[in-house]
Structure 1
């Protein structure tokens, strides 16, 4: 039926640098296309490095038809019910050892700890990048210290060139800990539990929804989207994406400032109609 053109399809998009413009808003073109996609049977959701409190104002604007992937894949959260439906917590003893090694070598690096159940991070070590992050997200600080456990992730923040210099030494910093390192932005390097990527979470989400993984379309722009792009039925890189992501993608979309999500929905519609 025409009204169910997108039935069986799951569209998952990154937020910053993909769905959102530089002003951190959802364009009317993107919103209209998403509403058309869901009205015609598609299921739409988000996959982001952000925590729930940072995503909620966007979730309220969008016709989410599935739980959202948060914290770069450490959590799947259902905004409709207000419940976490899947999660992978970071081993705190391992994370604490890595933080101590990181700070002993790079005392100026910013460290943000994200405890489970908190709607803001705990700022363990601050610099200009963490201060800009706090202002951008409008975090309201808590007075208490970070709990011993559990933690969702640790974010290390520094200028891009300094993080570039650290990257070759990550194995040395990690030691025997089984964790994931994710470069979520030029300024952010994140530590998560092993198998906590957007790609692992996408697989868990399609299983939960009982959907065909081949009909999942995932969009992104940075290296934290790489596993999701690889594991989706169709991985899409926006025009402003990291070169490694563009190389891995099966389809290339417009720049995030040119309504990239609307562009992908239009492409998918043409693909379905042509019987591909």
Structure 2
């Protein structure tokens, strides 16, 4: 199998539990790129966070963010693919979250919009510097154009309840994915990391059989099934391990370096 593109989830995959890239993983990524292989990030995070880590690693192709809803060129900052919510869906979603006092943030380009600042709701972003966060208060309606993703946060164990309620209200108008015990991503229906990865593969003129995709969570399932070589982290959920062709080491044991050295 000839791998030409490696796609890496961030949290629990490329990043360890301290939300950092180990020296071993960084060195392995460089070795792969030195062999002419493209390496990208495929994350549920916002574009700015994906770009931040990709630039630290000098990655050599566009990166995938918002669970496949955005594919952005690192050099120009322009999107080669971007999916936007209808304005009426966004307005209704945010209104419901405001009414129920659910903490919600949403992304337009590289900006995070929130009702009020609570950094306890940004635990995954603690190692990303320079985020552009805009506090809008109750005047949110002028910030509802070109939204790529929303995230509901709850620290009291209510995420599943919130997901069930939103699913019942919006049905097939939105996609819902729990990536942590305290956050839920809201995407357009039928958007997932496989969609973003297929757009990138088309852009790079690479067949899916030439892609290695690595991940650990439910939002990685689609791209691991899509790629020619699907890799589950040692810390991955069982659903990911069950469909992967290879299980590498834990994210705290340099699992990305291990799988790159094995197959590249």
Same fold (TM over 0.5): yes
Residue equivalent to 1:165: 161
Q: 2:235 aligns with which of 228, 240, 264?
A: 240
Q: Give yes or no for the alignment of 1:64 onto 2:59.
A: yes
- Pair 235,151 (structure 1): closer, same or farther in 2 beyond 3 Å: same
- 1:141 counterpart SS class: strand
Alpha-carbon RMSD across the aligned residues, in angstroms, is 2.4
Alignment of 1:91-240 (within 5 A): 91-104=86-99, 107-115=100-108, 117=109, 119-124=110-115, 129-130=120-121, 132=123, 137=128, 139-142=131-134, 146=140, 147-159=143-155, 161-175=157-171, 178-240=173-235
> Which consecutive residues of structure 2, in runs of 5 or more, have no partner in the other structure?
none
Residue equivalent to 2:72: 77
CA distances 1:183-235 after superposition (whole Å, capped 9, x unpaired): 22222111111222111111111111111111111111111111111111111
CA distances 1:224-260 after superposition (whole Å, capped 9, x unpaired): 1111111111111101112222222221110001111
TM-score where L is the length of structure 2: 0.87
> Which consecutive residues of structure 1, in runs of 5 or more, have no partner in the other structure?
1-5, 270-276
Residue equivalent to 2:245: 250
TM-score where L is the length of structure 1: 0.84
- Pair 255,121 (structure 1): closer, same or farther in 2 beyond 3 Å: same
CA distances 1:122-144 after superposition (whole Å, capped 9, x unpaired): 11367675264676656453355
Rg comparison, structure with higher value: 1
Q: 1:89 aligns with which of 77, 84, 95?
A: 84
CA distances 1:4-38 after superposition (whole Å, capped 9, x unpaired): xx965210001111011222221111111111111
CA distances 1:109-166 after superposition (whole Å, capped 9, x unpaired): 2111212x3x331113676752646766564533555423121111111137311233
- Pair 38,179 (structure 1): closer, same or farther in 2 beyond 3 Å: same
Report if the CA contact (8 A) 1:90-1:193 is conserved: yes
